[in-house]
Structure 1
Amino acid sequence: MGKYKIFVDGSSGTTGLRIADRLAERDEFEILKISEADRKDVRARAAVINESDLSFLCLPDDAAREVMPLVREDVRILDTSTAHRTAPGWVYGLPELHGTRAALPAATRVAVPGCHATGFIAPVAPLVERGLIPKAAHLSVTSLTGYSGGGKKMIAEYEGERVNTALNAPRPYGLALHHKHLPEMTAVTGLDTAPNFVPIVADYYAGMETMIPLDLAALGITAQAVADTLADYYAGQAMIRVHPLGEGTDGGFLAANKLAGKDTLEIFCLPNPDGTQLQLISLFDNLGKGSSGTAVQCMNLMLGLEETKGLAR
């Protein structure tokens, strides 16, 4: 057969650029283009999408919602925005979750997970599914990201002439406990209540570290049971690795940019000395497994290609 026709709608943004760069290195694709004059014309964009076999939407939420009614049902869509992550009829594109990999080959509507959401869902969803964490649990999560997660404007702020000294320090945000990733974090894990979630942006380019403390005594579970459950759930996965209980840190430190440039995610299970508490940590690249890496992984599965082709491990 001929080459797959692929369109990246919004290829000038951080995620879109990263996806476009990945696709440019592969010869099985024909990349469709749109003129600068038509880039903000929804009907012109929809026309190019409808020419494609698969299109990535790397757009603001409203723009992603606006174009979808104009898209043919048989055109495969990977939406990297927040717009459709909990929408009916859309597959949540984290292939390692049970049932997702099998659903992707036939899917035409796939929502790529949010970066912070990925770091929370990857360790928590299996524990809720297996009954170690009850659906009624109230969890807390802190997630540290590099400034590339804020897009082109934030990158320019950090990499330009520093007039704002606040950029020199880590900056928690979403301080009112309201963040656009919360609906998917709740729905996909199966929790009844959204977690208390505080994201932090810091002065480094890429990398994400998501930290979830568990009160093991209150949950009535052991640290070993958590580690064993996650290791079993993700056994054989190419892009997610679970470290043995208490192992994997660098002398007690864990740099948030350690996996920058990779498309993998690593989970750490770090107990306190008496085993009554556990820190669950997801470490990954916010631009890799947190966005464009997962998008490419989903594309490969949707098109029947090798799942990890074009991914960095």
Structure 2
Amino acid sequence: MKPVVYIDGKEGTTGLQIFERLGSRDDIDLILIDEDKRKDTAERKKFINAADIVFLCLPDAAAREAVALCENDKTRFIDASTAHRTDPAWDYGFAELSEAHRAAIMQSKRVANPGCHASGFISSVYPLVKLGIVPADYPLTCSSLTGYSGGGKKLIAEYEDPNRDPRHDSHRIYGTTLKHKHLPEMVHVCGLQEKPVFVPILGDYYKGMASTIMLHNSRLPGQPTAQDIHAALTKYYEGQKLVRTAPFGGEEPVIYSSGMAGHDSLQLIVCGHEEQTIVTALFDNLGKGASGAAVQNMNLMLGFEETTGLTI
């Protein structure tokens, strides 16, 4: 029998993108709730308990409530909300971080899908900390430029309104309290002792993300060069299908934040010299930053080839 899959919250941006990746697949049985019953708790409960895999594309509180509706040991969850990303009872859904992460996802009943900004930050910081190149107490700084699709339907409508606020023509810095909701996830997953200074920036384009960390090489153990850091990251992700490093310095002397839009993979671009390094994670905020990552996790949990249904 084919695995039964249900998307709780299919009408949101992340849910729609997951549906787009799954809708034409013949290796799963994707069950769809009636539109007029999508907020009916009893009906949702029935679908949740009928499924082998449930994607939760809901606000945090609603995601927790949905898990509580499960009354069996069969149903496995992939939560796209922030609710469970630092919960030790849930496995973190970034398989490329280590063989232990991949093995845990494959066997897991509860997978927390990573946040978009967090994915960019963690993809570079986790291996650098694990390898001892960046100390856990290093004062990290990260800026992350994203398209407006990550803000959901309301923000998309706001940006695509022909009578929109003219200030939307320029980028806007937000999260200026420096307490962005992805920070706990970044610190927890990477094992950091200091919270990074993290600045998200919203651009006037639909999708694509560029998350950049900045390093003073003289403050790092052994004072590695930018090329040393590039070599370490290249070796760390060697053989991975959905995370890879670009040639040192990138393929041109500029980085466009929409460069990986439409793909479900992530590219790390390392630039700099002997004294300073930047590492930019370039990816689609709706791809490896959300829905693409969720489908990859589903593939691993069900024993499918991990790139099935994805665009590399």
Q: TM-score, normalised by structure 1?
A: 0.96
The corresponding residue for 2:43 is 44
TM-superposed deviation, 1:162: 2.7
Q: Distance in 2 between matches of 1:29 and 1:23?
A: 8
1:67 aligns with 2:66: yes
Match of 2:228 in 1: 225
Amino acid at match of 1:215: H
Q: Which amino acid aligns with 1:49?
A: I
How far apart, CA to CA, are the structure 1 residues paired with 2:73 and 2:142? 37
Classify the secondary structure of the residue corresponding to 2:270: strand
Query: What residue is the counterpart of 1:164 in the other structure?
Result: 165
Residue by residue, what CA displacement relative to the aligned partner does 1:183-211 show, whole Å, maximum 9, x if unpaired? 11001111112211010111000000001
1:117 alignment counterpart = 118
Distance 1:308 1:69 in 2: 30
Is the contact between residue 92 and residue 105 of structure 2 (CA under 8 Å) also seen in structure 1? no
- Secondary structure at the residue paired with 2:96? coil
Name the aligned partner's letter for residue 311 of structure 2. A
Q: In the alignment, which residue of structure 1 is the partner of 2:92?
A: 92
Which 5+ residue runs of structure 1 have no aligned equivalent? none
Shift of 1:74: 2.7
Offset at residue 109 of structure 1 (A): 0.1
- Aligned partner of 1:37: which letter? D
CA distance in 1 between partners of 2:193 and 2:41 (Å): 37
For residue 244 of structure 2, the aligned residue among 230, 233, 241 is: 241
Secondary structure of the corresponding residue to residue 25 of structure 1:
coil
Q: Tell me if the contact between 1:211 and 1:280 (Cα under 8 Å) persists in the aligned partners.
A: yes
Instruction: Classify the secondary structure of the residue corresponding to 1:204.
Output: coil
Report the Cα offset of residue 217 of structure 1. 0.7
Give the CA deviation at 1:225: 2.6
Distance in 2 of aligned mates of 1:42 and 1:138: 45
SS at match of 2:198: strand
Are residue 187 (structure 1) and residue 188 (structure 2) matched? Answer: yes
Deviation, structure 1 residue 37: 3.3
Give 1:31's aligned residue.
30
State the superposition RMSD in angstroms. Answer: 1.2
Structure 2 equivalent of residue 203 of structure 1: 204
3-state SS of 1:104 partner: helix
Offset of residue 244 of structure 1: 3.3
1:19 aligns with 18
- Deviation (angstroms), 1:245: 2.7
> Which stretch has the larger CA shift, 142-151 or 225-234?
225-234
Match of 2:129 in 1: 128
Shift of 1:249: 3.9
Does the CA contact (< 8 Å) of 1:115 and 1:290 recur in 2? yes
- Deviation by residue 1:111-163 (Cα, 9 ceiling, x = unmatched): 00000000000011001011111111110100000000101111111112233
For 2:91 and 2:228, locate their aligned partners in 1 and report how far apart those are by CA, in whole Å.
29
CA distance in 1, matches of 2:66, 2:10: 16
Separation of aligned partners in 1, 2:201 and 2:182 = 14
Does the CA-based 8 Å contact 2:148-2:156 persist in structure 1? yes
Residue in 2 that maps onto 1:141: 142
Q: Percent identity?
A: 49
What SS is found at the alignment partner of 2:5?
Answer: strand
2:48/2:69 contact within 8 Å kept: no
Query: Is 2:210–2:257's contact at 8 Å kept on the other side of the alignment?
Result: yes
Q: Is the contact between residue 42 and residue 66 of structure 1 (CA under 8 Å) also seen in structure 2? A: no
Q: Hey, what does 1:307 align to over in structure 2? A: 306
- Checking the alignment, whether the CA contact within 8 Å between 1:78 and 1:295 is kept in structure 2 is yes
CA contact (8 A) 1:61 1:81 kept: yes
Deviation at 1:28, TM superposition (A): 1.2
Deviation at 1:38, TM superposition (A): 2.6
Query: How far apart, in 2, do the equivalents of 1:228 and 1:89 lie?
Result: 34
Specify the SS of the correspondent of 1:96: helix
**Offset at residue 84 of structure 1 (A):** 0.4
